[in-house]
Amino acid sequence: SVGGRSCRRLSGALVRPLLDSVDCVLFDCDGVIWRGDQAIPGAPQVINLLKESGKKVFFVTNNSTKTRKMYADKLATLGFHASEEEVFGTAYCSAMYLKTVCRLDGKVYLIGSPAMRQELEAVGIQQTGVGPDPVSGKQSDWANVALDPEVKAVLVGFDEHFSYMKLNRALQYLSQQGCLFVGTNRDSRLPLEGGKAVPGTGCLLQAVETAAQCQAQTVGKPNRFMYDCVASQFGLSRDRCLMVGDRLDTDIMLGSNCGLKTLLTLTGVSTVADAEAHQQSGCAERQGMVPDYYVESIADLLPEYF
Amino acid sequence: SVGGRSCRRLSGALVRPLLDSVDCVLFDCDGVIWRGDQAIPGAPQVINLLKESGKKVFFVTNNSTKTRKMYADKLATLGFHASEEEVFGTAYCSAMYLKTVCRLDGKVYLIGSPAMRQELEAVGIQQTGVGPDPVSGKQSDWANVALDPEVKAVLVGFDEHFSYMKLNRALQYLSQQGCLFVGTNRDSRLPLEGGKAVPGTGCLLQAVETAAQCQAQTVGKPNRFMYDCVASQFGLSRDRCLMVGDRLDTDIMLGSNCGLKTLLTLTGVSTVADAEAHQQSGCAERQGMVPDYYVESIADLLPEYF
């Protein structure tokens, strides 16, 4: 749809024309095809049948705690037919971003997970920083903490060992001339079952940005690099792609930013009321968070198409 | 000065009329009367002579790492005549804010220092949280971390043991109905000798605010509570007060917010060029960061007044 988005329920006779109009479907993971360690009922069948009917399917997630391999294993366990090459998480995409866009010549100071370290190493980028980094000494010691002279970029992803000392080390690296500053994503919370949530990477990134007094370049949705990364490897055409997600501010916004068709599924974070509020706001920027269509669950596609 | 601020160099014949026009002088500490562990040369003499000539003098600092007693001891060591009652740091002022403004009936979850714990306990407020809090387990464990049912407020100050688990614990408390959210201050960095800096409380507060998806009430400069706290205890009249500081965004802004006369000293963070940029911006909000006067050092007051 050009111009205003419709936010229409996708059902009955609308399903087949939409799916016939695309060659490729990009799925967010958490809240869309699974929740935590449980597949959304019917989701594996939908995705497996889409692939059998000739569609290209990709898994596009802001979560930086797993490698492509770890995602492929989880997908297989839950009954999805998927290969590593179809998975685009921010651990992998950040490594690709540093290598192909930044053409980084040096090491990374990594606030992140062992999975991020693996993806960096897989593209030949050395890193330092994974694991606990407890504080010791006093302010003048912190300001003069030992730095690796080969570090030329700071990369911030999800890190359960985030600490004052890591924040300080990032500030000291970013105070050096020419140091790159990249974040995986800005999600403020990771939602869990039962309405609970834990702090997301956006919190850690905000802390480092406040210290550094400058903004990081982020790789994850809604920034278009995630889509560009898939499109360049598989030769996609944006007007033949559908982006499916549960968050208006990341998934649907990515689709809008890249000119894809968009489908909101209600098994995760955002609601139809959220989408309608954006639609009725009269704010141009918020129109990008209005999906073309919504479904209760991606399982609703099953009886209509197959 | 009513309306526009002048940002004039305070020297020669201007010193006596300004000091004669006030009964009370409020000094920021770091960058104004000392730097790190060294007194600014001449500062002790100026402050001691101001007091001998009958002025009330107060020390007003956003630093939350020391109790009033610890500040009084440091002041004495560096040659300043000062008592505990003249010191208003954010450790003390946050405790007063929770007790007198919030009328807190419950415990505090404290991201902060042992000094903050002492000041809370001194006004009868119980707390939990000081010291290391390393991560363990997985996401669902973090979301269900044990909480103290008596906690009714989260207070964020400087904490070198800041960690992901503390951030998470703050989020879980703030997700409870009616939990208060207070921060000591928003300073993004603590400047050190030689142009170096370490991350300030503002970084930690931003991380917690991003997780909680709401803003804390802050106690420190430029919020007027710090001045109100001094004024209510000592019966000050705002048009007979001078605020002296090295930062335009905290010290001078506090003075403007409270209707005090303001003096920038150039021994710390801000420059005359910074002040002139605010003055010439045409932005109403930035006029509050233009001081009435500036001096190279508060020692420059010495030959002119005494």
Total number of residues shown for chain A: 306
Confirm or reject contact between B197 and chain A (CB < 8 A): yes
**Which conformational region is residue A79 in: left (phi greater than 0), alpha (psi within -120 to 50 degrees), or beta?**
left
| Tens digit of each residue's pLDDT (9 = 90 or more) over A276-286 | 999 999 898 89
How far apart are alpha carbons B105 and B102 in whole angstroms?
Answer: 9
Is B206 in the A-facing interface, judged by CB distances under 8 Å? Answer: yes
Interatomic CA distance for residues A242 and A265, integer angstroms: 13
Nearest-CA neighbor of A245 among A253, A234, A237? A253
Q: Is A73 annotated as a binding residue?
A: no
What are the tens digits of pLDDT across the range A213-230?
999 999 999 999 999 999
The answer to whether residues A154 and A250 belong to one domain is no
The number of C-beta contacts closer than 8 angstroms across A and B is 111
Crossing angle of the two packed helices B164-174 and B201-212, in degrees rounded to 10: 50
Please, are residues A297 and A45 in contact by the beta-carbon 8 Å criterion?
no
Q: What is the pLDDT of residues A116-131, one digit of tens each?
A: 999 999 999 999 999 9
Mean pLDDT, chain A, rounded, equals: 95
Min Cα–Cα distance to chain B from A69, Å: 20
Residue B113 belongs to a domain: yes
Residues B247, B163 share a domain = no
Whether B82 is in a domain gets the answer no
Partner B contacted by A199 (CB < 8 A): yes
Q: Is A148 annotated as a binding residue?
A: no
pLDDT in tens, A149-190: 999 999 999 999 999 999 999 999 999 999 999 999 999 999
Q: Mutating which of A34, A210, A269 best tests the B interface, going by the most B Cβ atoms within 10 A?
A: A210
| Mean predicted lDDT score pLDDT of chain B | 95
Contacts of B81 (CB under 8 A, 6+ apart): B47, B48, B51
Looking at A9-18, B54-63, B150-159, B166-175, which range is the least confident one? A9-18
Q: Does A68 fall in a domain?
A: no
Does one domain contain both A210 and A99? yes
**Dihedral sign computed on CA atoms, order B48, B49, B50, B53:** positive
Q: Is residue A291 situated within a structural domain?
A: yes
| B260 and B293 assigned to the same domain | yes
Q: Which of B35, B161, B166, B198 to probe the A interface (max A CBs under 10 A)?
A: B198
**What is the model's pLDDT at position B2?**
41
- In a shared domain, residues A195 and A246: no
Q: Do A135 and B203 touch (CB under 8 A)?
A: no
User: A269: domain range?
Assistant: 8-62+222-305
CATH of the domain at B256: 3.40.50.1000
> Residue A303 — very low, low, confident or very high, per pLDDT cuts 50/70/90?
confident
The encoded tokens of residue A276 equal 């309608």
E-state strands within chain A: 8-9, 24-27, 34-35, 38-39, 56-61, 87-89, 107-111, 127-128, 151-156, 180-183, 189-191, 197-199, 217-218, 241-245, 261-265, 293-295
- CB-CB neighbors (< 8 A) of A173 in chain B: none
What is the rounded distance in angstroms from the CA atom of residue A305 to the CA atom of residue A52? 12
The reported pLDDT for the residue numbered B29 is 97
Prediction ipTM score:
0.94
How many Cβ atoms sit within 10 Å of the Cβ of residue A284? Answer: 7
Contact (CB<8Å) B203/A134: no
Pairing of strands B217-218, A8-9: unpaired
Residues B251 and B199 in one domain: no
A209 and A239 in a common domain:
no
Confirm or reject contact between A213 and chain B (CB < 8 A): yes
At which of A185, A217, A249 does a domain end?
Answer: A217
Please indicate, yes or no, whether residues A212 and A228 belong to a single structural domain of this protein. no
Final residue belonging to a domain, choices A193, A217, A241: A217
B3 confidence band (pLDDT: 50, 70, 90): low
Residue A20 marked ligand-binding: no
Interchain pair B207, A211: CB under 8 A: no
- State residue A297 phi and psi, 5-degree precision: -155, 150
Question: Could you tell me if A190 lies within 8 Å of chain B, comparing CB atoms?
Answer: yes
Minimal Cα–Cα distance from B258 to chain A, Å? 27
Where among B187, B218, B249 does a domain terminate? B218
Q: Does B306 touch chain A (CB under 8 A)?
A: no
pLDDT value at A1 more than 90: no
Instruction: Count how many Cα atoms sit within 13 Å of the Cα of residue B87 in the half-sphere of its side chain.
Output: 24
Task: Indicate whether B197 and B275 sit together in one domain.
Answer: no
Give the torsion sign (CA, B70, B73, B75, B80): positive
d(C-alpha B121, C-alpha B98), whole Å: 12
Question: Active-site residue B300, yes or no?
Answer: no
Instruction: Give the tens place of pLDDT for each residue, B97-149.
Output: 999 999 999 999 999 999 999 999 999 999 999 999 999 999 999 999 999 99
The count of other CB atoms within 10 Å of the CB of residue B6 is 12
In this structure, the answer to whether residues A284 and A210 fall within a common structural domain is no
State which residue of chain A sits closest to B170, comparing Cα positions: A199
CA atoms of A149 and A173, how far apart (whole Å) = 9
Q: What's the structural domain count of chain B?
A: 2
Nearest to A211 among B36, B144, B189 (CB): B189
Residue A246 annotated as part of some ligand binding site: yes
Alpha carbon distance B115, B117 (integer Å): 5
Position A53 confidence tier, pLDDT thresholds 50, 70, 90: very high
Residue B67 within a domain: no
On whether residue A271 sits in a domain, the answer given is yes
Beta-carbon neighbour count of residue A302 at 10 Å? 15
How much is the pLDDT for B172? 98
Query: Residue B213 is nearest to which of A163, A175, A188, comparing CB atoms?
Result: A188
Are residues B163 and B176 both part of a single domain?
Answer: yes
DSSP letters for B69-98: HHHHHHHHHTT----GGGEEEHHHHHHHII
Distance from CA of A204 to the nearest CA of B (A): 6
Put simply, the answer to whether B167 touches A199 (Cβ < 8 Å) is yes
Q: What is the DSSP string of B260-305?
A: -EEEEETTSS--HHHHHHHHHT--HHHHTT--SEEES-GGGGHHHH
CB proximity B38 to A under 8 Å: no
CB contact under 8 Å between A143 and B196, yes or no, is yes
Distance from CA of B207 to the nearest CA of A (A): 4
Residues A201 and A236 in one domain: no
Q: Which residues of chain A make contact with B132, given a CB cutoff of 8 A?
A: 134
B1 within a domain of the structure (yes/no): no
pLDDT digits (tens, 9 = 90+) for B36-86: 899 999 999 999 999 999 999 999 999 999 999 999 999 999 999 999 999
Q: Is A86 inside any structural domain?
A: no
